[in-house]
Chain A
Amino acid sequence: MPAPFRRPGGRTIAGLLAAAAVGVALLRLGADAGPAGAGGGAQALERLVRGALAPERSPAYLLTVAADAAVTAAYAVAAMSLATVAGLVAAVIASGVLLDRAWLRAGCRIVLALTRSAHELVWALLFVAAMGLSPAAGVLAIAVPYAGVIGRVLGDRLRDVDPAPVRALAAAGASPLSRLFYGVVPQVAPDALGYLAYRLECALRSAAVLSFVGLGGLGFRIELALRDLDYARAWTPIYATLLLVVLVDWLGARTRRRFAR
């Protein structure tokens, strides 16, 4: 006799609400839709697919794209370095592992929530409008929201740590900082590193996209090609983005396996 499934309760409600929301959204979308089929249609699709199957592969272009990839990767790494440091500090404050003051934790969490609320491109538009088109604007545009989400996620992990080993360390006479290094950090390190690796992969995609704003990188190259409707030249940097992301994903998985035991 098959295992009796629970009477659907909260789950069904949630599912029905979601379905209703989707229905309303589609109706709304139908109302918003402007003139349909203003694009190239089937012809454009065919050219798109052909470009995907035969991207531009000349050595000169490959070199250019490789240089773009290096720039994009550099933006991602630089932004992550800032975001990790700021995020870790915020996580320690928000979780209260070193110093537990309610107002400090609440204030920190509000700041983190605000930085997380805007997409990095929105931040980029703001930073560029504020500072002009400079690499610093690009780095900050990624670093600020990423610091917010890293601070939030790692802060939650720090808070959920097993307190017993930390108490034992306190009993052995350890200072709050030593307790953090020996008791708290080792417990969160494997997960935290895995999450940071995932964030780096996201940062790569963000950096590629950010270059649409005018900064150098893969996105800029894609935009240039698409403006000339040269699909073959557009797909090469797209594949480069894909390769970068897959590479970092693989590295992240390896690191996670090394540390998690």
Chain B
Amino acid sequence: MEPVLRLEQAELRRSEGFRLGPVDLVVRPGERVALVGPSGAGKSTLLSLASGALGPDRGTVWLDGRRADRLGRRERARLVGLMHQRHDLVEQLRVRHNVQAGLLGRWSSLKALLALVGPVEAPEARRALRRVGLEHALERRTSELSGGEHQRVALARLLVQDPTLMLVDEPVASLDPVRSRELLALLAGIAAEGGRALLCSLHQPELALRHFDRIVAMREGRIVADRASPDVEQADLDEVYLSGRG
């Protein structure tokens, strides 16, 4: 079966001297992959490359067997969705609108405008919010929600977009351990339900081991390890983080 994501010798050079790559990575349908590594390792950049938001300076990004840079906006939205670290919700909109924004890749501009101003049934939004436990917040203004609730709204938007590959950037960076476990369980569950692949960056290795099938470790812009979870020892992960200090 065609891998959902393939990075082939992808490289990216940023202005501040930061360099990602070359990296080779394959994600197969339904896989749950954790991307671990210290800050500055390039996890967010890799996710941006995978989403097609950034183009590689060298190498190719393949989504579902097709070149990412040849895909149209709508096709790409069906294949891959990215949940940013900062959620990037529109604070001034209601939760319903932010969640429905996941459908903007499918709606015409006119329909989008009508959904914004008119009284419209929002079954998809309602379903998605119910799945993340926020159905009561449908009409609330996004700015009134807590950080954790922002997370779940962003997740609901991703759910509504329904891509084959879910990319998630540091979802639990600012959450306490209990909430982190809850959110990751939710994430893994949602991925499993839809048969969606999941590529998620984390900096807590123990959470990665617990919720994901496969661990990919990064350091200084390169991939240094890529193993199935049962084969990984805590010590290996510690090494990735500690030796990065050098």
Whether A and B touch directly in their complex, counting CB atoms under 8 A apart, is answered as yes
Contact B101–A187 (Cβ < 8 Å): no
A243-261: contact bitstring with B at CB < 8 Å (1 yes, 0 no)? Answer: 0000000000000000001
Say yes or no: A175 contacts B90, CB within 8 Å.
Answer: no
Contact A261 B141 (CB under 8 A): yes
User: Is the pair B92, A171 in contact by a Cβ cutoff of 8 Å?
Assistant: no
Q: How many residues of B are in contact with the other chain, CB < 8 A?
A: 35
- Which of the candidate stretches B14-22, B37-45, B77-85, B193-201 sits at the interface with the other chain? B77-85
Nearest chain B CB to A210's CB is how many angstroms away?
Answer: 34
| B88–A177 CB distance below 8 A | no
Residues of chain A at interface, number, CB under 8 A = 22
**Does A182 contact B143, Cβ atoms closer than 8 Å?**
no
| Most B-side CB within 10 Å, residue of A178, A179, A181, A186 | A178
Q: Is A62 in the interface zone, CB < 8 Å from B?
A: no
Q: Are B105 and A172 in contact (CB under 8 A)?
A: yes
What residues on A are CB-neighbors of B84 within 8 Å?
A: 164, 168
By the criterion CB–CB under 8 Å, are A172 and B81 in contact?
A: yes
B79 (CB) vs chain A CBs: closest residue: A173
Q: A173-B77, A261-B141 are in contact. Are A187 and B90 (CB under 8 A)?
A: yes
Q: Is the CB of A172 within 8 A of B53?
A: no
A190 and B107 alpha carbons, distance in the complex (Å): 26
Assembly CA distance A22 to B81 (angstroms): 61
Chain B residues 98 to 155 lying within 8 A of chain A, measured CB to CB, are 101-102, 104-109, 112-113, 116, 141, 143-144
Chain B residues contacting A189 (CB-CB under 8 Å) are 92
A165 x B90 contact (CB < 8 A): yes
Which residues on the B side are within 8 Å of A175 (C-beta)?
73, 104, 108-109, 112
A175 nearest CB neighbor, chain B only: B109
A-B contact pairs, 16 of them (CB 8 A): A164-B86, A165-B91, A168-B82, A168-B84, A170-B73, A172-B161, A174-B73, A174-B112, A175-B104, A175-B109, A178-B113, A181-B109, A183-B90, A186-B90, A186-B92, A187-B91
A residues within 8 Å of B by Cβ?
164-165, 167-175, 177-179, 181-183, 186-187, 189-190, 261
- List 4 tightest A-B contacts by C-beta distance, closest first: A173-B105, A173-B77, A168-B88, A174-B104
